[in-house]
Structure 1
Amino acid sequence: MNSQSPFANIPPVVKNLLIINVLFFIGTYILGRSGINLELYLSCFYFNSPFFHPWQIVSYMFMHANIQHIFFNMFALFMFGPTIEYTLGSKRFLQYYFITGIGAVILQMIVQSAEVHAIIGTFTIPNLNFGPYVNLAGFEKLKDIYSTPILGASGAIFGVLLAFGYLFPNVEMMVLFIPMPIKAKYLIAGYIVIELIGGFGQFAGDSVAHFAHLGGALFGFIILKFWRVQRPNNFY
C-alpha cells in the first residue's frame, strides 16, 4: 500500500512559494560561499540607503537570515496557507500574499522614516553624511537604519495568520508550552500584541522587524475588508 505524501494536497501557490523560498535559501548559501552576497542585493534596505533597489520590496520576501528563520516561516505557510488558498482561490491568494508582503515593508519604512526624521529633522540625509547632524547615539541609530536589511517572508506570513484568525476565529489550536487549546482569534491577537510591544519597546539586541510583521497583518485586514471576503459558515 502506498502512503500519500504530506505534500500531495498542498495547493499550487503555497507549494510553489515553499519551493521558491527554499531554492533562494540554498542559492544564497551556495553563492555566499563563493563571495557573492545575495542579501545585499535582494534584501530590502531603507529607501535612502545606497544599498536600496526598487525590486527589493518584492525580493526581500524570499530571503532568510538562517535555517530557523526560514523553517518557522515555511512551517507557518505550510500549516495555514493551504486553508487560506482554498478559501480565497489561488489567484487571489497569490495577490493577497504579495500585497501583505509589500505592505509589511512599506510600514517598516514609514516607521524608519519617522525615526530618521526625529533624529535629523528630515527623511533623507544629503550625501549620506551622518556626522554633522547627530550625536553618537543618533549616529548609531542612523547607521543601523541605513545598513540593516529587512528580509524574510514574515510580513506575508503574518498576513496569512491574520486571514486565518479572521476567517476561522473559533478554530481551536494547540500551541507549544500551553497545555490547552486556544481559539485562533485569541492566538493571532496575542501575536499582534507581542509584536506591538516589541516594536514600540525597541529592546536592546532585538533585530526583528516588528512593524513589518504588523504591516503584513494590517494590510491583510484591509484587503480582506476591501474584497469583502466572508467567513465560511461550513468550516469546522
Structure 2
Amino acid sequence: MNGTSFQSDIKYWLRQDNSVNRLMFVNIAVFLVLGILNLLIFFRLGPAVVAHDFILRNLQLNVAGNGILYRPWGIITYMFTHEGLFHIFFNMLNLFWFGNIFRDELGNKRVLPLYLLGGIAGGLIYLACYYLLPPSVLPGGPLIGASASVMTFLLASATLMPNLELGMLFLGHVKLKWLAVGVLIIDLIVIPQGNFGGILAHLGGSLLGFSYVRILKGSGTDLCAPFIRLFEWIVNLFNRQPTPRKFKAKKSPLRVVRNNEPSHAARLDQLLDKINEKGYNSLTADEKQWLKKYSDE
C-alpha cells in the first residue's frame, strides 16, 4: 500500500471483510470527534463545550435520575464511546487480539453480534446493580467504553481454546485460560480503587462470553443467530436489484464440464468464503483434507 493516500488505506482496511476492523474504526472515529471538541474547548471556543456535552450525554449510558428511560439507546452507543488515550488504546488493542482470535475460530458473522451482546450484558448488569445496591456503593455515574465487549471476546476465546498460548511481553508464553483468569482477578482486586461500575460491566461481558460458548457447544444454540439474520436482512434490503430479464445463452462448443465438479480455484474460493463466515471448524473432514492437499501443492 506504499504511495497510496490515507483515504485509500482506510478504504482498503475496511474492505477486508473483517468486522473487528470496522468496530475499531467506529470506536476510533467517535473518540476523534470527542477529542477534537476537547481540543477546541482547551482553546476556549464556547460552542465546542455545548457540542461535546450534547454528544457525550447522548452516547453514554446514563443511569442516574432514570436517565436510561430518556436515552435508552445508550445501552448500545456507550460501547463505542471513549475518552482518554489509554482508555481507547488498550480497549482497541485487546479488541484486535481477542476479536480476531474469536473470528478465526467461529467466523466473521458472529463478531458484531457478540460485541453487541457483550456490551448489552455489561450495561444491564450495571443497571441492575445501580437499582439494587445503595448509592454509597454505586453512585450511578455514566458508563462508557468497549471494555465489556472486549472481555466478552477474551472469555469466549478462552472458553473455545483454553490451551492456546500467546506470547506476552515480560511474561513469555501464557495459555489463554490463565490470561482470562488473571484479568478477572485483577478486576476484582482493583474494586476498592474505584470504577466499580466499569468492573461490573466487565464481569457482565465476561459472563456472556463464557456462557455463549458453553451454550453453543452444549446444545448447539447460537445466541448470535437472531442478530446475524437481522443484519443479513438489512444488507439484502439495501442490495436488492431488479430481476434481470431471462434469456437463453448460446452454448459454447469449447466448454467442457467434468462430472459437474467446480474448478480447483472456484472450490478454493468457496472454502475460503466458508471459513471467513463460519470459521475453520465449519469445514467437513473431506473439505479440510481437500484444502490441505491443494495448499501443499
Shorter chain as denominator, the TM-score bin is: 0.7 to 0.9
Instruction: From the two aligned structures, give the one with the greater helix fraction.
Output: 2
Task: Indicate whether 1:90 and 2:108 are aligned.
Answer: yes
In the superposition, relative to structure 1, how do residues 86 and 182 fare at CA in structure 2: closer, same or farther (>3 Å)? closer
1:214 match: 203
Q: Which structure 2 segments of 5+ residues have no match?
A: 3-8, 41-47, 221-278, 282-287, 289-297
C-alpha distance in structure 2 between counterparts of 1:28 and 1:85, whole Å: 29
C-alpha distance in structure 2 between counterparts of 1:151 and 1:169, whole Å: 29
C-alpha distance in structure 2 between counterparts of 1:187 and 1:12, whole Å: 25
State the SS of the aligned residue for 2:177. helix
State the SS of the aligned residue for 2:192. coil
In the superposition, relative to structure 1, how do residues 181 and 111 fare at CA in structure 2: closer, same or farther (>3 Å)? same
Q: 2:20 aligns with which of 9, 14, 18?
A: 14
Distance apart, 1:94 and its partner CA: 1.5
Structure 1 counterpart of 2:126, one-letter code: Q
C-alpha distance in structure 2 between counterparts of 1:84 and 1:45, whole Å: 30
Distance apart, 1:227 and its partner CA: 2.5
Q: 1:153 aligns with which of 137, 146, 156?
A: 146
1:174 match: 167
In the superposition, relative to structure 1, how do residues 206 and 106 fare at CA in structure 2: closer, same or farther (>3 Å)? closer
State the SS of the aligned residue for 1:228. helix
Q: 2:129 aligns with which of 92, 96, 111?
A: 111
**C-alpha RMSD of the superposition:** 3.1
C-alpha distance in structure 1 between counterparts of 2:208 and 2:37, whole Å: 33
Does structure 1 conserve the Cα–Cα contact (< 8 Å) formed by 2:126 and 2:197? no
Number of positions where the alignment pairs a residue of Structure 1 with one of Structure 2: 204
In the superposition, relative to structure 1, how do residues 232 and 196 fare at CA in structure 2: closer, same or farther (>3 Å)? farther
Distance apart, 1:151 and its partner CA: 0.5
Task: Indicate whether 1:43 and 2:60 are aligned.
Answer: yes
C-alpha distance in structure 1 between counterparts of 2:163 and 2:58, whole Å: 42
Does structure 2 conserve the Cα–Cα contact (< 8 Å) formed by 1:11 and 1:86? no
Q: Which has the larger radius of gyration?
A: 2
Sequence identity, in percent? Answer: 32
Q: Which structure 1 segments of 5+ residues have no match?
A: 120-137
Task: Indicate whether 1:195 and 2:187 are aligned.
Answer: yes
Does structure 2 conserve the Cα–Cα contact (< 8 Å) formed by 1:170 and 1:185? yes
Cα-to-partner distance string for 1:81-106 (whole Å, 9 max, x where unaligned): 12212322222222111101100111
Distance apart, 1:169 and its partner CA: 1.1
Structure 2 counterpart of 1:39, one-letter code: L
Instruction: Provide TM-score, normalisation by structure 1.
Output: 0.74
In the superposition, relative to structure 1, how do residues 187 and 24 fare at CA in structure 2: closer, same or farther (>3 Å)? same
